[in-house]
Structure 1
């Protein structure tokens, strides 16, 4: 388990990163990548959508282009304060402070679930994916963006020491263990040489 796959350390990390996050984020996860991912999620007007690990609201902003019923959750109050400044605390988005592995919602609540740049900090990612499946309606679309595993052995050792990086094979194992039957993976990159993201789009099974 990587250093930042600890909830206390991750909260402390984001206390400081939140001050520069919106300036750094476009280098690894930009508007073009977000638009491409939103096309895969295929949110329709009126869909109730959950953003797990919303951070400063970059993914939330994209979701609002498709539906007005957006709910956003994060464990870092410092990240969420940046999102509050963009959207208000109750105006356009319903915000919740909470844990991706213990979502504070009833079963079968959401028409779609989005999570970008969050799974790499979950100590138990399969548990988080199960929670997403629980709160999403049968047949709902789920999209999860995480960091793709690097090819270099040196970078792999560094990545493993920090947080969760994973490839398509490991994503298969995680989603299967979490109870998903249908899913596909896409590799995204802001520009040549920048870190790659692995974006998985899954369908919540009917049972």
Structure 2
């Protein structure tokens, strides 16, 4: 599948999936797999800075960023998601919304202080291109927080497996350890990282496991990256 086709198929899939996502996202951000993302982000990124929420979905995470004191611009490929986001954040008129292409982000060079990119990079056909584009819009010394799905996370089963049957899919196969290597070789420094365990997995009992093995049994792995000053 070429890049243009991948892009259009991904937009179509997320337009269709948006209502289902919007029903469940509040729970994910408040008590589910995404509950620790904003605290993790806020521990390292100064409050008040400009943040691009890339792949914002229905805006629940963006709203929580705004409540934590960040100036947030929401970006999503799906216009249906953007409409859900506008509805959920109606009481925060300072938030801005853009239906945007992750390969050509609607920002000037070094315009943003930080980015939040949760389970978005997996749905791109050329993740390295997107990483470089995010790097373009972030100020030197700025931050980006990525969440990368684990190998057996349910969305991977839904969106990735069919490639083995020869079907077109909208999810790449990049794993957390591959993402980290790509990031460090393209001008990012890993400031911190942490795992989100799958149901039934207790990281506390895996103390002797290497990070890669813990990533293999994670639902998602979070990375807080900093753009090198000389980029």
Q: Same fold (TM over 0.5)?
A: yes
Q: Which runs of 5+ in 1 are unaligned?
A: none
Q: How does 1:72-83 map to 2 (within 5 A)?
A: 72-83=74-85
Structure 2: unaligned runs, 5 residues or longer = 202-216
Per-residue CA deviations over 1:50-82 (Å, capped at 9, x if unaligned) read 101111112212211222511111111011110
Among residues 87, 91, 99, which one is paired with 1:85 in the alignment? 87
Match of 2:9 in 1: 9
Query: How far apart, CA to CA, are the structure 2 residues paired with 1:108 and 1:91?
Result: 24
Structure 1 residues 165 and 39: alpha-carbon distance in aligned structure 2, compared to 1, 3 A threshold:
farther
The correspondence of residues 186-197 of structure 1 with structure 2, limited to 5 A, is 186-189=194-197, 191-192=199-200, 196-197=219-220
> For the residues of structure 2 that align with 1:83 and 1:184, how far apart are their CA atoms?
29
Q: Could you state the TM-score of these two structures normalised by the residue count of structure 1?
A: 0.83
How far 1:12 moved relative to its partner? 1.2
Helix, strand or coil at the partner of 1:200: strand
Alpha-carbon distance change, 168 to 181 in structure 1, aligned in 2, over 3 angstroms:
same
Q: Looking at both structures, which has the greater relative contact order when contacts are Cα pairs under 8 Å and sequence separation is at least 6?
A: 1
Q: Distance in 2 between matches of 1:13 and 1:89?
A: 28
**CA RMSD of superposed structures (Å):** 3.0
For the residue of structure 1 that corresponds to 2:36, the secondary structure is helix
State the match for 1:200 in structure 2: 223
In structure 2, the residue matched to 1:49 is 51
**TM-score w.r.t. length of structure 2:** 0.75
Distance 1:66 1:30, change over 3 A: closer
2:34 corresponds to which residue? Answer: 34
In the alignment, which of 175, 194, 197 is matched to residue 167 of structure 1?
Answer: 175
Residues 109-118 or 185-194, more deviating: 185-194
CA distance in 2, matches of 1:159, 1:204: 35
Larger Rg: 2
Matched residue count: 201
Q: Which position in structure 1 is the counterpart of 2:123?
A: 121
**In structure 2, how many angstroms separate the alpha carbons of the residues matched to 1:195 and 1:55?**
22
- In the TM superposition, residue 37 of structure 1 has moved relative to its aligned partner by 2.0
